[in-house]
Structure 1
């Protein structure tokens, strides 16, 4: 079998977004090779467009692996277009938008939870720092790894202001992680995935962050085992869903939205949407700080330019929906707080 033209996923297993994309490729049954970032195999591939992992090397119009793309959300959209079998994004436009909303919450809010616990708690910081240097090179000498661990931890801790973790926001983040687990625990008892009997991009986004929050990092994992032990089993299961048989009818019916899914949208509207709106406003006004109220508590952090783009993309996706699908989305999100995105 000639696999020369297989996709190349370049990343590290310790990256939530790498885990998201790798699980998506497995579920999609797409031919790919996983290449460790920083390896000689990665050096032989086209350079990444941004200094981030993961990135995907895909064929050009001549079938040659000459194009590297980054950012998992547009990557998943492109893959659905190029490889139409077993798509992650629902074909129903309204359902597709809701999947995008869940994906953004997983990528951009649960990442706050992950970053907060990992880099503000000494136990979690020590655990992550101990193994992360080996993620790219397991043969690294111990002394070199310890130096790299200290430098990496210092760099990550210096970034927590941008992500949103500080003494003021900590109670909001920690309460939101517990509520997510409570909602997840109830929802997964009635539906194996967020939008029915097959996963969407939203599942992959949450899964990616949960590989750290539920499995590797001690503090959030301990909370998860107390609140939702099945979250661990679900996260392990989503690692490889290539054997899952699916049908178009496996998506939920939006006219019969489960209460547990409505609860998830209410959680998104409770924490993520207020931040997206306040963050975008701060950037538009040239403010050096985001000040807002989330869940009845003060939230303050450095502006996050990328997440302003996320809000803009969500609004653009809603704007291009047909009128009847806009109404269907609005009905599903009514009273959740998510409708503020469109106001």
Structure 2
């Protein structure tokens, strides 16, 4: 523990909020580096294969990219203050909640940031300018910031953030935040008195975007004091903690959210799987796949949300299922019974081809 990791991240980054919170909770020493535009597009891309943050460099020199794989690796290396529950239903829920934060909240993060530019842009421009070209003339910093902002604006349609879906997405966001605020009024973390993998997954959107950007901070986080307090707790170092809720149970206050999550997640995964099957029929020998394929539609509140399909989310599902299948028979039975009670047992039986992660994409693991 004496040697520090290097964390390449920005405060404005979605997944930086997830990983930074995790490192602080674990007490893993790290030095944070705010990558410049040259780091981002040259050094990081050369080392990891993609221009993406956050990235961790281990003391021995290895470079790791993708927060889920980074946390998997660090949990083995630093087992203290573990973030994976030992009991089956809570463990499965933690992985599910991580996937929820990583994947389901991306449209909300983009919508609350890039569709409220009148309130947000000056703050974002300053943040990005200081990171991208520190010490350079301000006009060049502003030009670089505008280029990044345009790139992210172009990304909106890739997550379904289009005007005809704004109202549904906003209502979904408000409902989730209300449920979370009510839950954190009685429980310090999602599954009890200690944070789990699911808490860190949720910190991506709720810290990096919603609690820092002026519009969502004012309109979505400030009115929900218990949620705001959870965000602050999650960024503290070495906070005292208790245990997960006893008896492998889910807190009652989390059940409405989790029940809805399970239904929507199953619909989303099935839609992505169908698009992947169609893509593989048309491109049977492809060694690489695009990040987005086709378009899928899935349940959201009282409506249907449409966005391009992503094979990556099926890799996330496969990672969760590998943990499930490695469990003892009685533990798998407990998870199956719990999902049967929620009428989503088939979540355990999706026939996903074997995948591996390749940068920001997933491809067949031949």
TM-score band by shorter chain is: 0.7 to 0.9
| CA distance 1:194–1:305, shift in 2 (3 Å) | same
- Asked if 1:278 is matched to 2:274, the reply is no
Aligned length: 333
Please list the CA deviations of residues 40-98 of structure 1 after superposition, one character each: whole Å capped at 9, or x if unmatched.
Answer: 99999993343211111114xxxxx2210111112111111111111111233442221
> Is the alpha carbon distance of 1:110 and 1:335 closer, same or farther for their aligned partners in structure 2, counting shifts above 3 Å?
farther
Q: Please point out which of 69, 74, 82 is paired with 2:69.
A: 74
Q: What are the Cα deviations for residues 96-127 of structure 1, in whole angstroms up to 9, with x where unaligned?
A: 22111111111111222101221233335524
Alignment equivalent of 1:264, drawn from 257, 260, 269: 257
Where does the alignment leave 5 or more consecutive residues of structure 2 unmatched? 280-292, 350-366
Structure 1 residues 275, 223: closer, same or farther in 2, change over 3 A? farther
User: CA 1:246–1:47 in 2, change beyond 3 Å: closer, same or farther?
Assistant: same
Question: Superposition pairs for residues 27-66 of structure 1, below 5 Å?
Answer: 27-38=25-36, 47-59=47-59, 65-66=60-61
Rounded Cα–Cα distance in structure 2 between residues aligned with 1:270 and 1:213: 25
Distance 1:181 1:300 in 2: 21
Q: Are the equivalent residues in 1 in contact too, given 2:109–2:210 (CA < 8 A)?
A: no
* Corresponding residue number in structure 2 for 1:96: 91
- 1:87 maps to 82
Report the CA distance shift for 1:325/1:68 in structure 2 as closer, same or farther (over 3 A): same
Give the alignment's TM-score, normalised by structure 2: 0.81
1:62: which partner in 2? none
TM-score using structure 1 length: 0.86
Matches within 5 A, 1:307-318: 307-318=313-324
Asked if the contact 1:49/1:70 (under 8 Å) is kept, the reply is no
Query: In 2, Cα distance between the equivalents of 1:33 and 1:144?
Result: 27
1:26 aligns with: 24
After TM superposition, list the pairs within 5 Å mapping 1:129-278 onto structure 2: 129-225=125-221, 227-242=223-238, 244-246=239-241, 250-278=243-271
Q: What is the match of residue 106 of structure 1?
A: 101
Aligned residues of 2:133 and 2:141 also touching (Cα < 8 A): no
CA RMSD of aligned residues (A): 2.8
Q: The residue matched to 1:298 in structure 2 has which SS?
A: strand
Q: 1:16, 1:209 within 8 Å by CA — same for their partners in 2?
A: yes
